[in-house]
Structure 1
């Protein structure tokens, strides 16, 4: 099929490349000239394992073409995916839908044939209905069907999650062709046994936000238990292991530590709360406010713990921060807990040196006043404390004996509980979590 993907950020670029991999002819629309030029040359402007090879292969084959022209998009195909960003509004909890609205406003007046527009972006419930009404106003004697097909990508695993998802969700208004078209688009995936849940647009929109809210709640739950464990002298990891054997609970996302960040969970749970309030159901999601609070407290606790291991003051101390991306296998530093902690520690008078395998450039742009090292060992030179804040495999493979020769004081704080505590303690380190 011929398909257009509107917006080639993290979601859009991944989706476009994967649709080409499924055999479709894809036109990707990106309005930012610099990003468009990079993608057209087969370069991915962010780190995502497996995506650069996939993108370049299909750019080179001609199956994926990048453009900035909505007129070209309107001529190219009759099926369009909206994959633009929906960031948090400045000073508010609600989602900023200006890019979603702009996609409809720019595309629909240019259409000359019946079309199907499928939303991939994470949006507040009710957005598809509003966009459908707007499309009806803008359409010129044609039928424009809007449906919602939310994404469920994990950064670091986005290609696999697109080509081998655990489920597909499609929200329809009914009476159109969107379901048949989607089944054709995803035929190879469906043939592989992936279930497809067909429902109405509000439900499809809520599936995505509900999934993110649940994951955020699970992470904050175990971090709240960690606070109790700190007070009681208990082992939160052992608790997580024990309750994780319960099939109703599961072990995934039960790792206590610094908490969640990135461009999705924080802003999505806040937008979910804001939308519930607009719908008159604010009390139903009031617990998410505490989920958010628990998450933010973990950052403050990490700063306090660092000050504690440094003798009560950070003034003049040298602190090594290992990891600045919000999670491993990503260069995303949006709402990064690690960089937030690094910034707070620096404000308390410490000299802070950061190292991350992939997120150095993005970190420098966001926090230019921090110091940056080219290796983990360099970051730790003469450090009074080493903080492991992103669970990269590179950090888990560090030799604590060799690293101990580089630091001034053997204090390590494992913000992700990813190190072998016995090994580090045996090498003379004070190990804290």
Structure 2
């Protein structure tokens, strides 16, 4: 029965060890698979374009860096925002004179953020808005041998510009079309500039209703509206973005006309949106994981994973001890000793030792008969042992008293062994 129980226990331990090994193997495979998936998605995922070349930091011909520098010198407070339009940082608009500027939002990102744009213009509370319709786009080509970046310029379709008005909820009030160029002037002011030749086209606004609340800000020499403002909703729309671009800002009175557009918002703090230029804080975890500084953390994790897998595959582990060994005499004795040590009942231990010692010190009968000696030890021996043990001080329950009793028993044991020594048996001659 014992052997059968031991075999069953051994098999159970082996099965448990096998399950543990398989679990470790599955864990390593899963971790490696997840890591490869993250690396694959991060390396081959197409992220938002980091530069559309028409944003507020671009120095390209269609960028607006010169405009923002000009406004800063004119006393405006200019900050950039990469927050999504539906979760704008309220701290940027605690200033009642803060306006949000959407400078040529890229049509390719309007599809991605369509709901956010609609929500922004339909919100019950929103900051004053300055909307500049898109017109030109740029694509980076192969650089020259000297490292100069070459940009290919294109023109958006008129439908792309109209779609911005539709998403902003202004399609029923304003329209946009393109006309041949002319002088750009500001009503009732001496400012004028020519930014296009007669063959070039300019974007102009059209009012869909004669009773429109929109007021003209900038017109051309033929009284066609390039910029308008709605005083009721505090929205400014500029149809011709060339007026504020790096390329044309220094021509004629373009800088003065551009400043007038932003002054129409009646705000001196401008928050320039860059989310619609692909700079929204929406980068995926996979994309960030394979680019510094997160890349270094990922490589460290991969190194630790490799070390863990190597250790699991190469380090040998000792087999668990058999059940029989755990039930051996040494194990039982050690366990009992530990229990007695924890109990610390020295009074009872000394009392039992004194009571058992007289009988335990008697030589065994088997030993006597094996020696060929008839009879037993003296009957007076137990009394003598008990008398000598009772000569010890009174049992006070201390560990020291138990040690004294044990030493006295050891002394008596040696004396009994010498006085009752039984010689070894001899064969008859």
Shorter-normalised TM range: under 0.3
- State TM-score, norm by structure 1: 0.23
- State TM-score, norm by structure 2: 0.24
Q: Which has the higher contact order (CA 8 A, sep 6+)?
A: 2
Larger radius of gyration: 2
